[in-house]
Amino acid sequence: MPSTDDWLNNPLGVVEGMFAASQNTPNSGWAAKAVAFFKDRLKEKDAHTWVPSLNDVPLHYLKPNSLVKFRCFIQDMFDPEFYMGTYEAVDPSTKAKVLRCGKYKDVTECGVDFNSRSTMTAERHTFYCVPIPGESPWVKEGYAGSSQARVVPSTSYAPTRQKRSYEEDDDDMDTDTQPQKQREPHTGPHSPTEPHGNGDCKRREKEAPSSQAASASHLDLNFPLPGEKGPSCLLKVYEEWDGFKLNEAVEVFGILSVSPALSALADEDASSSLLDPAGGMETAEEQRVHSPPASLVPRLHMLHAKPLPHNNPLLPAAGLEDNNSAFLSSTLREMAAVRAELLAYFTHVLLGDALAAEYLILHLVSNVYTRRDVLPLGKFTLNLSGCPAVASFTERFYQIIQQLVPSSYYLGMTLQNMNQMRLVPKKDYVANRLLSGALQLATNTSLFLDESQLEQGQLDTTGVRNVTALGNLISWQKVDYDFSYHQMEFPCNINVLIASEGRSLLPSDCQIHLQSQVAPPDLEAYLGGIQVHPQASQLNKFRMYLSVARQLDYSIADEVTKSVEDDFVDMRKDDPQSISAEDLHRMLVVARLLSLSLGQTSLSRDSWLRAKHVEMLRRSRMEQNKCVNGNEP
Amino acid sequence: GPTSPPFQRRRGQDSSTGDLMPMPTSPPTDVLSPRLVPTVPPNEVDMSSPLMYGTPSSRVEGTPRSGVRGTPARQRPDLGSVSKAPQVDLQSEPPSADGAVASEANAGQRLVIWGTDVNVGTCKEKFQADFILCVVGDPVLNVNCLHVQSFDAELYRQLICYPQEVIPTFDMAVNELFFERFPDSILEYQIQVRPYNALKTRNMRNLNPEDIDQLITISGMVIRTSQLIPEMQEAFFQCQVCAFSTRVEVDRGRIAEPAVCRHCNTTHSLALVHNRSLFSDKQMIKIQESPDDMPAGQTPHTTVVYAHNDLVDKVQPGDRINITGVYRAVPMRANPRQSNVKSVYKTHIDVIHFRKTDEKRLHGLDDAEQKLFTEERVQTLKELAAKPDVYERLASALAPSIYEHEDIKKGILLQLFGGTRKDFSQTGRGNFRADVNILLCGDPGTSKSQLLQYVFNLVPRGQYTSGKGSSAVGLTAYVMKDPETRQLVLQTGALVLSDNGICCIDEFDKMSDSTRSVLHEVMEQQTLSIAKAGIICQLNARTSVLAAANPIESQWNPKKTTIENIQLPHTLLSRFDLIFLMLDPQDEAYDRRLAHHLVSLYYQSEEQLEEEFLDMAMLRDYIAYARTYINPKLSEEASQALIEAYVDMRKIGSGRGMVSAYPRQLESLIRLAEAHSKVRFSEKVETIDVEEAKRLHREALKQSATDPRTGFVDISILTTGMSATARKRREEVAQALKKVIQAKGKTPAMKYHTLLEDLRRQSETAITKEMFDEALRALSDEDYLTVTGKTVRLLA
């Protein structure tokens, strides 16, 4: 059996060894065995942490043809590829014909005999993968910190690498990022091309020599969100490709291929396309997109992939279902306490408004858990109206959310953004790829819409389309991708939070008007202090809490069902106008989220009453607000 | 037997022309991996190489050849002296006997003739048709592979597996036969056989390495076409020294340049003369998987297709087509300067036959989209149809997450089935609308949008648009300049795209007037006239409209009529067959059921969800089957019942001096009755269908056309926008006003306010300002007076 170093550093050797061994026994199923071998190795305790990750190690520090992992998002799916699965080549030293395996490789050995009868064509699929869009800096750092991969030592690299992991270990990382943020206030709303995540600036500083940052400028890597950085890769999938879906977040283990021959071949193809009748079918753009230089977009030949049920480095990677009952029960016990802390924190952030803080928690743990014909269930889009228009409250508020959720995106709804940004992905037939848009987001991404940025003016065609797309996203949790001849519907699961001054022009499941407990003169000072973060340990508790609450199962017992029905009938009896079917829908969602936020996996009578109470408070506040607005001249 | 002489003759001729490859003799097991085991006879050594696939020279063999190829058509008439007798003999021979011989050695040669047989036997009429085509100058014979299969499965298998060899053989056979029968005709080039409808592959996604070099048929949509590419077929070389010329056929994209002149033995003296070389046309076309074939959550695949000769420029981007062709894989060109090569093949399809699927739609023949139902599926559907409560069952399967509103669901169900399409163009009436239009109006938040979304997701050709966001252009069509070709293209909007489907329009009331006016034509004539940028045309838009409208005031005002509530022009409203109100019923039992329904939404288990999902697929199939195969006709009793129903409807109103039904309502009734019989899978519209149509129509009327002042159903609310009582009252007020004015004697001008005061004083009933205005308007219509600002002047 190959040693540890072999399967990590020379996985192709392992594959080839198995291939060679199988030659004498037909139908040996060596390919399946090879995949199983790597799966078993990775199952071993902590084994996966020994695999270097494309996410946090710059490409030029990774050994070509070694095993790497990549936490990524499937942005596009290319056409299937036929390749030489097995072929015969002449060994340059012995001059003998040898049978070779073409799997997990981009280029063949020299001296291929095209006329050989043992050539076997096989099929593989190519996915274009990018890092998970809007991934928060703390997630990136969390994963990077837990990595134990031994990367080839390099003088220029080692210090930064170590510095980052240390920084992760001790708790002062927030104080480290803090001044950065204040120095560079959020510029996003004014220019969509500038980075939104403050962590990006930090990354850029530290990885200045990284080739990706420098070269990304002339090659469009097609990231869904503007200003994103990081590696993208062409993922070659050899089996069960039907199981993957667009916009899925997966962790891939595969063999890294950065052969310079790939780029050379691409150039060759482009220049010789005039002579080659077969090469003429690809346009230059298509070439650029489908065979970018391997130094910029490495190829990753997949051995094993697992979908990410969540993207939180603090949680066990396997998800909550299996063999983590100990973890689950301990977290469940603590949940009520953490919730109270979080509520206090949010109340502080939301200018002392406890009710709004309550709703914010509900919003952050919401999740589309199923769909009934066209109706997505469990979504809870929150419209936080009455946001003060001073001291960039909304932007500060977003940064706090970003600190808590694994991935998020701030979209300032300025007229310019609405009229110019590409929100909906569009198929580019010239380059034969899906041009990404800001709404191509992974499951459970928090989308923060800042409507306070919107001013009066004219929306053009794109603007109307963008607003419609946002409306569809909120109402149906789907995005209609533009394939120019038709549209294609892609379901999504995005938590949309709309911050606005008045009622939002977009639909929402729930609107709450912020009632500031802070006197206007003190507002500036108060907001300045908002960003004093809790301790990192507390932050981590919050992060864990939100991710766990979202993943819990939930049920309603029959007797509770009955009492809910009775309640509804009674309420309608008193005043039919007071509650509609829509209100009941919302109350059921609120009750669900409230239970989950308390760590209860079934609805209790108490939670129902509490949900009713909270809803009542909110509605009375809305009516109040309406009156106030009505009295205004 | 009597058939042997033609066999002999053909064999002899084959050897003389020498371009016919013998049929492969490899056993059928080879089919599994054609790339491993060469499928070609041993005398063609190169054929075993994967390189041969897709190279130009081999392509010529496989695909229809150009007229410039070696075997000129002129040779054929010489053989035409053969009498027709052998064919008759061949046809009389039973196919089963043929099959028995087919497995013997040398089968290929004989199969050719049987191939001919297939063409004559099963496509005799087609053959005649082809003759006419030949005169026009398009010698093509399209062969449906299904016919080949039904004739001889073995031949079909060979055609699929070895199209490169079998199709040229077919060509020969057809040409022989043609010239046997029509010895005097002169063709530009030989007849080409173009098989289509190969069942090997239906979906682009299923293409895999096993399909390489096989005949496949896939469907898709053209997304890009290239410029015409001239491809050299035969190079012409001339010696610079002695002017001796020679021709070299292009082999796999390469020209073997002769190094030595055969005439004067000078080395390297031959130069290529471009304008004497032969070129053929070629075009690169990209097709994309059609959205209906796609699994959810994946992006569509694309495939490169090469069209040759006369197939060039046959398709445009946006066309939906079925392509039959040979699937090819070409290795990336080996580069001599590089030791290792990319291990990827490039794949494409060499097209043999195009079939536009949407072209047929324009003629109303939907056979391309006919879903193929398996026998068991049809059986299940028929069993379901036989159930007495099928109508109720289907209605409740529709949008199960939306509670109750049974009649609305029934109405939408009938809309999904639609009436029978009738053609009265002979009598000048044109097409008779078969599609049912429905308008839902009611309080916001009564899940109208959800219902629309559901329907849009259910039907294959549904479009969903919102009245707020869509312009007339988005609904109809617009002219766009293609950035590449600078060609003007007509881009169709939602209404045209949903031809034969349902166009769901949300927020109908928010639509601008100009947009709405487009709908007038669509909803009755079912066409769309466009006159833009020099393009004048009429497109079909046989779409059912399912619209939802909110009341102008935020809540439905029960004291007002439908028209007043939603403020839509009555001309448009009268085009809806059914107008439903979706209101909150507000009663306890309903509330309880609603609560139960909603709560259950939130805790139902996965299995229950699964069950319902199946129901949606079933519902979809059921509707598709009924729409395709069931065309009910009115029975005698049903027509009687319809007449009675209509007469009754008219009678209701006549007692109060109102008309409560117009011919349009009769047409609606007919459509609904037809749709209902489709639900039952019945070819005949019977009395029960009419009964249900009547009931539903009445229900809808009761909801939407009840005069809130009198409580009576009054169709004129919908047809004229005003109830008859309202009109009567307006008349009375106008008369009263006239009296007031006349009582004043000769005053040419009056103050508006004083006049209103006077009228109020005289009238017993309360006169609102609106009523007064209406009365003034009525009188000014009579040219009795005129209103300018605040002054009223008498005209008389």
Three-state helix/strand/coil letters over A162-193: HHHHHHHHCCCHHHHHHHHHHHCCCCCCCCCC
State whether residue B161 is helix, strand or coil: helix
In this predicted structure, the answer to whether residue B485 has a pLDDT above a threshold of 80 is no
| The pLDDT value given to residue A495 | 92
How much is the average pLDDT of B709-721?
59
pLDDT confidence band for A129 (50 / 70 / 90): very high
| The pLDDT value given to residue A364 | 92
Q: Determine which of A234, A282, A572, A612 to mutate to test the interface with B (most B C-beta atoms within 10 Å).
A: A572
Which one of B51, B291, B340 has the shortest CB-CB distance to A107?
Answer: B340
How much is the average pLDDT of B344-366?
66
Which chain A residues are within 8 Å of B453, Cβ to Cβ?
Answer: 374, 476
Which chain B residues are within 8 Å of A222, Cβ to Cβ?
Answer: none
Q: Which of A36-50, A114-128, A405-419, B107-121 has the highest mean pLDDT?
A: A405-419
Considering only residues B715 and A109, tell me which one the structure prediction assigns the higher pLDDT. A109
Answer yes or no: do A106 and B343 touch at CB < 8 A.
yes
pLDDT confidence band for A323 (50 / 70 / 90): low
In this predicted structure, the answer to whether residue A232 has a pLDDT above a threshold of 80 is yes
Can you list the positions of beta strands (E) in A229-368? Answer: 233-237, 249-257, 299-307
Beta-carbon contacts of A214 under 8 Å, excluding residues fewer than 6 positions away, are none
| The pLDDT value given to residue A456 | 82
Percent of all residues in chain A with a pLDDT value above 70, rounded to a whole number: 79
Per DSSP, helices labelled H in A123-259 are 137-146, 158-169, 173-183, 198-206, 211-215
Chain-centre distance for alpha carbon A61: 25
| The pLDDT value given to residue B660 | 58
State whether residue B330 is helix, strand or coil: strand
pLDDT confidence band for A496 (50 / 70 / 90): very high
Q: At what angle do helices B163-181 and B4-17 cross, to 10 degrees?
A: 120
Nearest CA in chain A to B610: A372
Mean pLDDT is lowest, of A297-306, A385-394, A541-550, B363-372, for: B363-372
Tokens of B628: 């395709």
Answer yes or no: do A281 and B298 touch at CB < 8 A.
no
| The pLDDT value given to residue B368 | 40
Per residue in A12-29, pLDDT tens?
A: 888 888 888 877 776 677
pLDDT confidence band for A317 (50 / 70 / 90): low
Which chain A residues are within 8 Å of B346, Cβ to Cβ?
Answer: 278-279, 281
Which one of A261, A262, A374 has the shortest CB-CB distance to B454?
Answer: A374
- Scanning the structure block, which residue is given the tokens 């969903």? B464
Per residue in B496-539, pLDDT tens?
A: 666 677 888 888 877 777 777 777 777 777 777 766 666 676 76
A·B CB contacts under 8 A? 221
| The pLDDT value given to residue A447 | 93
* Amino acid letter for position B487: Q
| The pLDDT value given to residue B357 | 67
| The pLDDT value given to residue A448 | 92
pLDDT confidence band for B429 (50 / 70 / 90): low
Per residue in B273-282, pLDDT tens?
A: 888 888 888 8
* Amino acid letter for position B241: V
Per residue in B219-255, pLDDT tens?
A: 888 877 877 888 788 888 888 888 888 888 776 566 7
In this predicted structure, the answer to whether residue B612 has a pLDDT above a threshold of 80 is no
C-alpha A262/C-alpha A101 separation (Å) is: 18
Mean pLDDT is lowest, of A70-84, B154-168, B580-594, for: B580-594
Considering only residues B98 and B752, tell me which one the structure prediction assigns the higher pLDDT. B752
Per residue in B618-677, pLDDT tens?
A: 777 788 788 777 788 888 888 888 888 888 777 765 555 555 567 777 888 888 888 888
Beta-carbon contacts of B379 under 8 Å, excluding residues fewer than 6 positions away, are none
C-alpha A495/C-alpha A63 separation (Å) is: 39
Which chain A residues are within 8 Å of B283, Cβ to Cβ?
Answer: none
Which chain B residues are within 8 Å of A556, Cβ to Cβ?
Answer: 599, 602-603
H/E segment holding residue B346? strand B344-356
Taking CA atoms, B80 is separated from B9, B19, B73, B84, in Å, by 12, 20, 12, 10
Q: Which of residues 132-191 of A touch B (CB under 8 A)?
A: none
pLDDT confidence band for A101 (50 / 70 / 90): confident
CA angle B401, B407, B411 (to 5 degrees): 95
Exposure pattern of B672-688 as b/e (b: 16+ CB <10 Å)? bbbbbbbbbbbeebbeb
Nearest CA in chain B to A426: B299
| The pLDDT value given to residue B711 | 60
C-alpha B139/C-alpha A199 separation (Å) is: 69
Mean pLDDT is lowest, of A227-236, A441-450, B19-28, B408-417, for: B19-28
| The pLDDT value given to residue B545 | 83
How much is the average pLDDT of A550-567?
82
Answer yes or no: do B591 and A569 touch at CB < 8 A.
yes
Per residue in A502-524, pLDDT tens?
A: 888 888 888 898 888 877 677 77
* Mean pLDDT, all residues of chain A: 77
Answer yes or no: do A375 and B339 touch at CB < 8 A.
no
Per residue in A155-194, pLDDT tens?
A: 444 333 334 434 333 433 333 333 333 333 343 344 333 3
In this predicted structure, the answer to whether residue A259 has a pLDDT above a threshold of 50 is yes
Answer yes or no: do A568 and B591 touch at CB < 8 A.
yes
pLDDT confidence band for B470 (50 / 70 / 90): low
* Mean pLDDT, all residues of chain B: 67
In this predicted structure, the answer to whether residue B471 has a pLDDT above a threshold of 70 is no
Nearest-CA neighbor of B581 among B450, B716, B710, B702?
A: B702
pLDDT confidence band for B75 (50 / 70 / 90): very low
Beta-carbon contacts of B427 under 8 Å, excluding residues fewer than 6 positions away, are none
C-alpha A478/C-alpha A490 separation (Å) is: 6
Tokens of B514: 């100009």
pLDDT confidence band for A208 (50 / 70 / 90): very low
Asked if residues B549 and B565 have their Cβ atoms less than 8 Å apart, the reply is no
Nearest CA in chain B to A119: B36
pLDDT confidence band for A407 (50 / 70 / 90): very high
In this predicted structure, the answer to whether residue B115 has a pLDDT above a threshold of 50 is no
Q: Which of residues 378-437 of A touch B (CB under 8 A)?
A: 427, 429-430, 432, 434
pLDDT confidence band for A218 (50 / 70 / 90): low
Answer yes or no: do B221 and A87 touch at CB < 8 A.
no
Mean pLDDT is lowest, of A64-73, A149-158, A576-585, B490-499, for: A149-158
C-alpha A14/C-alpha A20 separation (Å) is: 10
C-alpha B532/C-alpha B768 separation (Å) is: 47
Answer yes or no: do A569 and B469 touch at CB < 8 A.
no
C-alpha B204/C-alpha B220 separation (Å) is: 8
C-alpha A394/C-alpha A396 separation (Å) is: 5
C-alpha B769/C-alpha B755 separation (Å) is: 11
In this predicted structure, the answer to whether residue B358 has a pLDDT above a threshold of 60 is no
Nearest CA in chain B to A275: B253
Mean pLDDT is lowest, of A27-31, B104-108, B555-559, for: B104-108
In this predicted structure, the answer to whether residue B30 has a pLDDT above a threshold of 50 is no
C-alpha A616/C-alpha B324 separation (Å) is: 65
| The pLDDT value given to residue A171 | 39
In this predicted structure, the answer to whether residue B469 has a pLDDT above a threshold of 50 is yes
Answer yes or no: do A82 and B56 touch at CB < 8 A.
no
Nearest-CA neighbor of B287 among B327, B252, B253?
A: B327
